[in-house]
A = this chain, B = another copy of it.
Amino acid sequence: MLAFLSRVDEAMNSSGEGATQARETGTLGKLMVLLDLVTHADAPLRFTDILALAGQPRGTLHRQLSHLLEEGLLELDGDGRYAPGLRLLDFAARSWARNEFRLIAEPHLSDLQQATGETVHLGVLRGQSIIYLDKVDGRQPVRMYSQIGNASPCYCTGVGKAALSLLPAEGLVDLLAGLSFTSFTASTHVSAETLLAEIREIAVEGYAFDREEHEAGIRCVAAPVWSQDRSFIGGISITGPAYRLSMELLRQWAVPVQLAAGRIMEDMRIRLGPRR
């Protein structure tokens, strides 16, 4: 309710797709922009590179980076370039291990994986992104960080669209207004209008598809999952290659996905108490 709305409002500011803007968190906000810059780059950055990207005075930037280094949030590689620091791993490991949503969902994800033989994901909406909390893949030991923890856009993933279908009208419109669409494939939504139309449909049906919208050749069917207090708004999905997962098959799997989602929510009611 109130708590939920304020949560979404705040979240609007965070971890979007495009421009990383300074938030109203003073010194911390400025440092997080830098951390974002370095972690989102696909290679270590030299001081001068960051100088150009951050648009800050040299002296200021230098001290900011020094602080981030000293805290272990950034590291210098052998060539004096800035890379993400390993201390982040420790923080994240704890954040993940303790996450209630994930802990409760885990057995149900495994069940769903067993039933379908395909990869199952759990994701949660944070700001404009879906953060993947878990992944169960039958075949080989999973390279987990490669998927878990990854933030993906909400407008072109099954879990993302399922999650959006849970938002109240007002919050949804605000969120969509802030999106900047990247056309990952020919099927990616590129306007808030068509996306909104699909989300309205999803809200009625109770499940969502990803028709190769994020990655060519990859489809999924997803169902929304939420905690009663709305602190978790997300979804679960069955994902796989288009050649194996026909749209017809995905439509059949809508039911088991929704059932699994229902069981997760029931477990949450039991384990977290009636208020949540």
Contact = CB atoms under 8 A, between A and B. Distances in A.
Given A28-B27, A28-B68, A76 B126 contact: no
Interface bin, chain A: 35 or more
A126 B276 CA distance: 39
For this chain, the copies found in one complex come to 2
B87 A88 contact: no
The main secondary structure of chain A at its interface with chain B is: mixed
A97 interface: yes
A42 to B, nearest CB: 7
A87 B10 contact: no
A126 B86 contact: yes
B23 A71 contact: yes
A67 B97 CA distance: 24
Interface string A161-179: 0000000000000000000
Given A72-B127, A88-B88, A145-B144, A150 B93 contact: yes
Contacts of A136: 141
A89 B92 contact: yes
Nearest to A228: B78
B231 A76 contact: yes
A31 B99 CA distance: 22
A84 B76 contact: no
Given A23-B71, A24-B70, A39-B95, 4 more contacts: A32-B71, A72-B126, A78-B227, A145-B145
